[in-house]
Amino acid sequence: MQVGIKLGVGAAAAVLAGSALSLGAVAGASEPPPNPGQQEESVPAQPQPTQPEEGQGPGAIVVGPEGAAKALERLEKRDPRRAQWCHGRVAVSKLNVRSGPGTNHPVKYVVSSGQSINTDWSRIIRRHGYLWVPLSNNYWVADYKLGDGNGKWYIKYTNC
């Protein structure tokens, strides 16, 4: 086995393939040629694993088209009169807190349902199907999941 590693993957594959071919010839094992009148079976495509939502479990506040429009308006309209720091409570069982705004950033910890949370809506970002807002410790949460004309909040705010 050490020789195969030193030879490299290609050489090891050639050695193994040669061994398998010589064994097949000695044992008389071979694949029959395909029947030209027969069609090959198609293998159904396997569903791609989906990443769990940022806010997991029951409690998300599902909104209709009006609520979705209001959420996206917050992204587009930076009103200085609106409170920069929004205070609320986590509405879902578990909400990921990440090192940056996006699912490509590592999860640093998880907050649970009912926990108090403060988000900075002056720095809201839309990315990976969510509206991301930073916390006071500069970690980020997805507090709104975008939908097809609908969406859902993961945080129930009291002042925003």
Does residue 23 belong to any structural domain of this protein? no
How crowded is the C-beta side of 151, counted as CA atoms within 13 Å?
A: 20
Does residue 89 belong to any structural domain of this protein? yes
Does residue 43 belong to any structural domain of this protein? no
Most confident of 42-51, 74-83, 91-100, 124-133: 91-100
**Residue-range definition of the domain harbouring residue 132:** 55-157
Does residue 131 belong to any structural domain of this protein? yes
Q: Which pairs from 100-103 meet CB under 8 Å and 24+ separation?
A: 100/140, 101/125, 101/127, 101/132, 101/134, 101/140, 102/127, 102/128, 102/132, 102/140, 103/51, 103/54, 103/128, 103/130
Closest CA to 60 of 148, 159, 158, 143: 143
> How many folded domains does the chain comprise?
1
Does residue 104 belong to any structural domain of this protein? yes
Q: Is 76 in a helix, a strand, or coil?
A: helix
64 alpha-carbon distance from chain centroid = 23
Q: How would residue 149 be classed by pLDDT, with cut points 50, 70 and 90?
A: confident
What is the helix (H) or strand (E) element at residue 117, kind and residue range? strand 116-120
Does residue 78 belong to any structural domain of this protein? yes
First to last CA, the chain: 65
Does residue 42 belong to any structural domain of this protein? no
| CATH number of the domain to which 105 belongs | 2.30.30.40
Provide the pLDDT for residue 104: 96
Give pTM, 2 decimals: 0.63
Instruction: Give the dihedral of Cα atoms 94, 96, 97, 101; nearest 10 deg.
Output: -140
Does residue 14 belong to any structural domain of this protein? no
More confident residue, 28 or 116: 116
Q: Answer yes or no: is pLDDT of 62 > 60.
A: yes
